[in-house]
Amino acid sequence: MTFFETLSFYFTFPFVRYALIVGVLVALCSSLFGVTLVLKRFSFIGDGLSHVAFGATALASVLKLSDRFEMPAVLALTILCAVLLLRTGQGAKIGGDAAVAMISVGALAMGYLILNVWGTSANLSGDVCSTLFGSTSILTLSKNEVWLSVILSVIVVAVFVLFYNKIFAVTFDEGFARATGIPAGAYNLLVAVFTAVIIVLAMNLVGSLLISALIIFPALSAMRVFRSFRAVTVCAAVLSVLCAAAGILVSIIGGTPVGSTIVAVDIAAFLVFTLAGRLLRFKGGTVK
Amino acid sequence: MTQLKCTGLTLGYEGRAILENLNFEVEAGDYLCIVGENGAGKSTLMRTILGLQPAMSGSVEFGGGVTRREIGYLPQQTPVQRDFPASVREVVLSGCLPRQGLRPFYAKEDRDRAAEAMERLGITALARRCYRELSGGQQQRVLLARALCATRKLLLLDEPTAGLDPHVTAEMYRLIDGLNHDEITVIMISHDLEAALTWAKTILHVGGRVWFGPAERYRTEGIGFAAERGGAAL
């Protein structure tokens, strides 16, 4: 079989189509908010929340929530933690970074503990591995999960587009935004909540340990080459979608783990963009 | 016409007052310089006027047709901005947001306003350039253009010439003076007492002894000079 025949053979299976749809959507959403998170120096919040999502998933599986309720429950808990993290980040007794580290490692430990003590699964380490690295869950999505992912992605993209200018203003200069009456706190909250949504969406794709890569790599790559906020945002989105699609296809054909393959493609793209940025600057060319 | 009125203002952090019972008014068209040693509370005062931190007691009131959404503010630069990918146009346009309310996108009116502000400050040619690659003086002009998009009435400037060389500093002061002649009220924090006395109409001296009045009288009464000369600020 040629390469394309192999591909079209695989596409006859619904789970392959589901994986590609959800993968592309998740990549798109995570890259959009990734630009803001990286620029606001909030990348660590993404990392912390992904561990919270692992803990929440462990809890949900022990409580034997049905498929229909598992994702919304995990989502609610992660959003709650996002709000808490943002609050503690702003002038509480425990410093922002320490609070994130505490919550994130705490959630990770509790999640594993809960699974060990109350878990009934015959293959505990397999379950843990797939939640952390997303090894197979993207290929076992139910139709409901696909629909939920689609709806959430549409909401994420719509909110980002509608508030694009305000998100730019609050990211570039929070002091100015606040002083001129823009509710910067509300926009920070919006960014944190949507980061939580994206992370829960992305858990199925790359697993909770690798989500940060999906959020930060496209943004960092785009920033190597482009120098306006709009160009960086558009480039990050396009790049993220292409990397995710390529990663999923390679992993299906090559039998490699989905999450790490996507991240590997993202890393390769980052190296290419870094090199391209160097060359452009060396030539003194201006990139818009 | 009074645009800003501070009454019995006490400022400080965590219950410790650094400025007490401050009373002053700013009239439309005024050019007020806030001077004083480092740590005297100049920035705290400006942050309180802007509503970025609460006053311990007293009140800040805007009047004469000025509301919080119609203030232009030139903050000191933040570390985030040093590696931020943004074009000059994007930064200047963001000054139009306060007037925008819930409207999601910029209107033609906003774009015209931004173009006008860039023209006024002589940065039209830089519109497509990246903000972080500009010189310090150019960056200050961009932020001033953004402030002009936000206001036609009242500008608050936090050390607009910090880190600029003498030539660019003089140019910056001339620009600000030009804006003041166009009937925009200016409230500026400055370390540079000579410049403050050259350009400002009114002086507010904080720290040690509080003094508020016309710039000429500040010069003749010589208040602050002894203290300032002794301090490292000058």
pLDDT tens per residue, range A215-232 = 999 999 999 999 999 999
State the pLDDT at residue A17. 86
Asked whether the whole model's pTM tops 0.90, one would answer: no
pLDDT confidence bin for A135, thresholds 50/70/90: low
Select the highest-mean-pLDDT range: A276-285, B11-20, B116-125, B214-223: B116-125
Q: Where are the domains of chain A?
A: 3-283
According to the per-residue pLDDT averaged within each range, which of A128-142, A263-277, B33-47 is highest? A263-277
Does residue B164 sit in the same domain as residue B138?
no
pLDDT tens, B174-216? 999 999 998 899 999 988 888 888 889 998 988 777 888 888 8
Shared domain check, B176 and B62:
yes
Q: Between chains, do A176 and B75 touch, taking CB under 8 Å as contact?
A: yes
How much is the pLDDT for B222? Answer: 63
Please check whether residues B90 and B102 belong to one and the same domain. Answer: yes
Find chain B residues with C-beta within 8 A of A39's C-beta. 80, 84
Q: Which two tokens stand for residue A272?
A: 């290419």
Chain B residues within an 8 Å CB radius of A177: 97
Could A227 and B133 be called an inter-chain contact, meaning their C-beta atoms sit closer than 8 Å? Answer: yes
B22 found inside a domain: yes
CA distance B19 to chain A (A): 21
CATH fold, domain A3-283, is ABC transporter involved in vitamin B12 uptake, BtuC (1.10.3470)
- Choose one of B95, B119, B151: the last residue of a domain: B151
- Co-location of B61 and B83 in the same domain: no
Mean pLDDT score across all residues of chain A:
84
Domain boundary among B105, B124, B151: B151
What is the mean pLDDT of the segment spanning A53-73?
A: 80
Percent of all residues in chain A with a pLDDT value above 90, rounded to a whole number: 26
**pLDDT of A160:** 94
pLDDT digits (tens, 9 = 90+) for B32-42: 999 888 878 88
Amino acid B115: pLDDT: 93
Which chain A residues are closer than 8 Å to B106 by Cβ? 165
Residue A159 token pair: 């909110």
Contact between residue B48 and residue B60 where contact means Cβ atoms under 8 Å apart: yes
Predicted pLDDT of residue A266? 95
Closest approach of A224 to chain B, Cα-based (Å)? 9
Residues B87 and B27 in one domain: no
Q: In terms of domains, do B126 and B173 share one? A: no
Lowest mean pLDDT among A68-72, B23-27, B101-105: A68-72
My answer on whether B15 and B56 are in the same domain is yes
* pLDDT at residue A89, as a whole number: 54
Provide the residue range defining the domain that includes B206.
1-66+153-234
Same domain, B174 and B230: yes
Which residues fall within 8 angstroms of residue B7, CB to CB, at 6 or more apart?
B23, B58, B59, B61
- Over 70: is that where the pLDDT of B66 sits? yes
Q: Which residue in B50, B68, B80 is closest to A39 by CB distance? A: B80
For residue B17, the model assigns a pLDDT of: 83
> Is there a contact between B104 and A223 if contact means CB atoms under 8 Å apart?
no
The pLDDT confidence band at residue A126, using thresholds 50, 70 and 90, is: confident
pLDDT at B231 over 90: no
- How many percent of chain B have pLDDT more than 70? 94
Q: Does A175 touch chain B (CB under 8 A)?
A: yes
Position B56 pLDDT exceeds 60: yes
pLDDT for residue A200: 86
CB A176 to CB B80 under 8 A?
A: no
Rounded to a whole number, what is the distance in Å from the CA of A178 to chain B's nearest CA?
A: 7
B99, B122, B151: which is the final residue of a domain? B151
B68 contacts A181? CB cut-off 8 A:
yes
Task: Indicate the pLDDT class of residue A18, thresholds 50, 70 and 90.
Answer: confident
What's the domain count of chain B? 2
Question: Does residue B130 sit in the same domain as residue B199?
Answer: no
Query: How large is the average pLDDT for residues A183-209?
Result: 85
Residue with tokens 């505490």: A102
Q: Are residues B161 and B229 in the same domain?
A: yes
pLDDT at A185 over 90: no
- Asked, for residue B197, whether it belongs to a domain, the answer is yes
- C-alpha–C-alpha distance, residues B26 and B8, integer Å: 15
Does the beta-carbon distance from B105 to A165 stay under 8 Å? yes
Q: What mean pLDDT do residues A237-261 have?
A: 90
Do B60 and B161 lie in one domain? The reply is yes
Write out pLDDT tens, residues B127-159: 999 998 998 899 999 999 999 999 888 999 998
> A137-141: which pairs have CB atoms within 8 A and are 24 or more residues apart?
A137/A203, A137/A204, A137/A207, A138/A19, A138/A22, A138/A23, A138/A204, A138/A205, A138/A248, A138/A258, A138/A259, A139/A15, A139/A16, A139/A19, A139/A258, A140/A15, A141/A15, A141/A18, A141/A19, A141/A22, A141/A204
Q: What six digits make up the tokens of B222?
A: 């010589």
With respect to residue B201, please indicate whether it lies within any of the assigned structural domains. yes
